[in-house]
């Protein structure tokens, strides 16, 4: 770096690296851990590569797709989703709301009749920021789908009661099939795919870690390597000026990686993955090659 940076970026995760990449002026990235990537990192253990939680690349933004394809220079493969839901002792394709065929008859009846008789949302604002998650589910899917899947799975995933969550995040991420899709999915197993994540990119080798490393290499070409933080910079981080203040509650995620000897194969959610809405199972999902 030929001149003193005018901007200091705290954190070498994807957001920090993207900031440095797009800033187009001298900057320095300060990363506490000593390695870039944040939660988008991979670890090599006994010859097996494990990602730190699941990271699949759903590149719907044209600019983001061009940028990542440029950074990874061919080290990507396009995969088709194969996700399933285990409930009532059977597997059905994702999403639940469009694939109830194969479930017990009384459950299918609950889901279809509930969809037909779903109530209307209060108000008319399209962003749903004023609506609780349980209200949104009932008005979008009806009582049956909400009770059998949407409520138990999302409460298990987010550790919040449905009435204590908002619905403003649901729009792009939760598939909302039409009536004909719900009925068809109750009578047969359709081949139609639903949702934003029907396909995804993933690195051919190196795990998701190769993405932040590629971004870091580009940033270093004009700004230099990420720096270690000054001593004590992060002491008390997260407490804020008033340690006694109650901040929003957070919850963690436990992940377990399993390595299987043999030829290298993908080990990521969706190839195939399974979702477990039942509160009795100790996990929300698993993935196998």
Asked if the bond preceding 239 is cis, omega within 30° of 0, the reply is no
Contact (Cβ atoms closer than 8 angstroms) between residue 166 and residue 129: yes
pTM, 2 dp: 0.79
Contact (Cβ atoms closer than 8 angstroms) between residue 13 and residue 20: no
CA nearest to 71, candidates 212, 207, 199, 222: 212
Say how far apart CA 116 and CA 259 lie, in whole Å: 46
**Could you say which residues of the chain have pLDDT below 70?**
1-5, 122-129, 221-253, 263-272, 288-289
CA nearest to 264, candidates 203, 205, 209, 224: 205
Distance of CA 113 to the CA centre of its chain: 31
User: Side-chain half-sphere of 268: how many Cα atoms within 13 Å?
Assistant: 26
**What pLDDT is attached to residue 140?**
94
Say how far apart CA 220 and CA 237 lie, in whole Å: 27
**What pLDDT is attached to residue 267?**
46
CA nearest to 203, candidates 289, 78, 83: 78
DSSP 8-class letter at 49:
E
12's CB contacts (< 8 A; 6+ apart) are 29, 30, 31, 33, 35, 36, 37, 38, 212, 216, 226
List, for residues 48-86, the tens digit of each pLDDT value.
Answer: 888 887 788 988 889 999 999 999 998 999 988 888 999
- Spell out the alpha helix ranges (H) of the chain: 14-23, 62-72, 105-116, 133-145, 151-158, 179-187, 210-223
């Amino acid at each position: 770096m030929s001149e003193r940076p005018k901007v200091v970026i705290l954190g070498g995760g994807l957001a920090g690296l993207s900031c440095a990449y797009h800033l187009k002026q001298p900057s320095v990235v300060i990363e506490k851990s000593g390695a870039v990537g944040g939660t988008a990192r991979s670890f090599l253990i006994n010859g097996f590569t494990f990602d730190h939680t699941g990271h699949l690349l759903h590149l719907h933004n044209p600019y983001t797709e061009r940028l990542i394809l440029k950074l990874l220079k061919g080290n990507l493969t396009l995969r088709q989703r194969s996700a399933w839901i285990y409930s009532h002792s059977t597997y059905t394709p994702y999403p639940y709301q469009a694939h109830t065929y194969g479930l017990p008859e009384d459950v299918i009846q609950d889901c279809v009749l509930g969809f037909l008789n779903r109530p209307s949302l209060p108000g008319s604002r399209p962003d749903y920021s004023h609506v609780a998650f349980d209200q949104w589910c009932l008005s979008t899917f009806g009582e049956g789908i909400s009770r059998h899947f949407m409520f138990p799975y999302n409460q298990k995933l987010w550790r919040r009661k449905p009435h204590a969550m908002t619905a403003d995040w649901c729009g792009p991420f939760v598939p909302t099939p039409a009536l004909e899709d719900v009925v068809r999915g109750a009578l047969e197993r359709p081949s139609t795919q639903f949702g934003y994540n029907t396909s995804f990119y993933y690195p051919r080798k190196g795990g998701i870690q190769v993405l932040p490393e590629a971004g870091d290499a580009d940033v270093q070409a004009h700004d230099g390597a990420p720096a270690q933080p000054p001593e004590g910079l992060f002491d008390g981080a997260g407490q804020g000026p008033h340690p006694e203040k109650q901040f929003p509650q957070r919850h963690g995620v436990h992940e377990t990686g399993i390595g299987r000897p043999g030829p290298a194969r993908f080990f990521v959610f969706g190839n195939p993955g399974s979702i477990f809405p039942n509160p009795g199972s100790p996990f929300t999902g698993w993935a196998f090659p």
